Amino acid sequence: MDKAYTAHQLRLDKIIYASEASAINLACMLVFMLGDRYFVGVSRDLLMLGSVLFGVLSTLFMGIGNGIRLWRVKRLEKDI
């Protein structure tokens, strides 16, 4: 495969993953803010905890993945 094409695809993947992480975090914030209104008791607490954990873990996963992609892009650009 062409190294320039691979580097370009990795850059596009970084943008897609960052957009997905933003959408997931927005959904998690909405669930956290509106969960108090529609749920009560233990289910509300679990929903809020789950939304916070899911948002944080997805952001962490995206950050690590994008860091790896950035490292690969820099390595490919050095080889070009």
Residue 7 confidence (pLDDT): 87
pLDDT, one tens digit per residue, over 12-69 is 988 998 899 899 999 999 999 998 888 889 989 999 999 999 999 999 999 998 899 8
* End-to-end CA gap in the chain: 12
pLDDT of residue 31: 92
Q: Domain count for the chain, please give it.
A: 1
**Where in the sequence is the domain holding 36, given as residue range(s)?**
3-79
**DSSP readout, 23-78?**
HHHHHHHHHHHHHHHH--HHHHHHHHHHHHHHHHHHHHHHHHHHHHHHHHHHHHHH
Q: Count CA within 13 A, CB hemisphere, residue 72.
A: 17
Distance CA 75, CA 25 (A): 30
pLDDT range class, residue 1, cuts 50, 70, 90: low
Round to whole Å and give the CA distance between 53 and 33: 14
What is the per-residue pLDDT for 71? 92
